[in-house]
């Protein structure tokens, strides 16, 4: 059996590249680390969470069940901008196969999304959209 490895870097890179290059989302500024003084709106590919996967149904394949969050930030009044961006991101990722270096092609599974309102640090309310994906990698 192959040595276990974490595919976090490859997963982040693949999701980042998909959002950065897809025709629906290619005009969005996408970050993994947001530089200081960045203006809104923008997208952040969040830190993944991984656990052992028993869902592959084979004892000779090691899999990893990953969860990755995509964050959308906007200071637009109302939810229109953040929800439009989230919708385009879902369209760019859902139902497509991701080619992740070192792994068999995977199908990301949409788990949930929500929009949060942050009124703590700005004169304008900040909308924070969260999209959660599950990606089983083998």
Structural domains of the chain ordered from first start: 8-119 (3.30.2000)
The pair phi, psi for residue 61, each rounded to 5°, is -120, 125
List of the chain residues with pLDDT < 70: 1-5, 52-63, 122
Q: Which residue has the tokens 């930030």?
A: 73
Q: What pLDDT, on the 0 to 100 scale, is given for residue 8?
A: 83
Number of alpha carbons in the 13 Å side-chain half-sphere of residue 93:
29
The confidence score (pLDDT) of residue 5 equals 63
Query: What is the torsion angle, in degrees rounded to the nearest 10, for the CA atoms of residue 137, residue 16, residue 118 and residue 115?
Result: -60
Going 28 to 31 to 35 to 41, the CA torsion angle's sign is: positive
* Residue 5 tokens, joined: 């490895």
Length reported for the chain? 138
pLDDT at 120: 77
């Amino acid at each position: 059996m192959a040595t276990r490895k974490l595919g976090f870097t490859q997963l982040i890179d693949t999701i980042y590249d998909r959002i950065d290059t897809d025709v629906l989302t290619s005009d969005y500024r996408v970050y993994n680390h947001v530089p200081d003084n960045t203006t809104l709106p923008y997208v952040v590919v969040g830190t993944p969470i991984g656990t052992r996967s028993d869902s592959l149904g084979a004892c000779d394949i090691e899999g990893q069940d990953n969860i990755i969050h995509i964050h959308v930030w906007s200071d637009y009044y109302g939810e229109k901008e953040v929800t439009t961006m989230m919708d385009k991101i879902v369209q760019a990722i859902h139902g497509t196969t991701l080619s992740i270096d070192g792994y068999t092609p995977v199908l990301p599974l949409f788990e949930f999304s929500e929009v949060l309102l942050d009124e703590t640090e700005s004169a304008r309310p900040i909308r924070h959209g969260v999209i959660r994906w599950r990606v089983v990698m083998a």
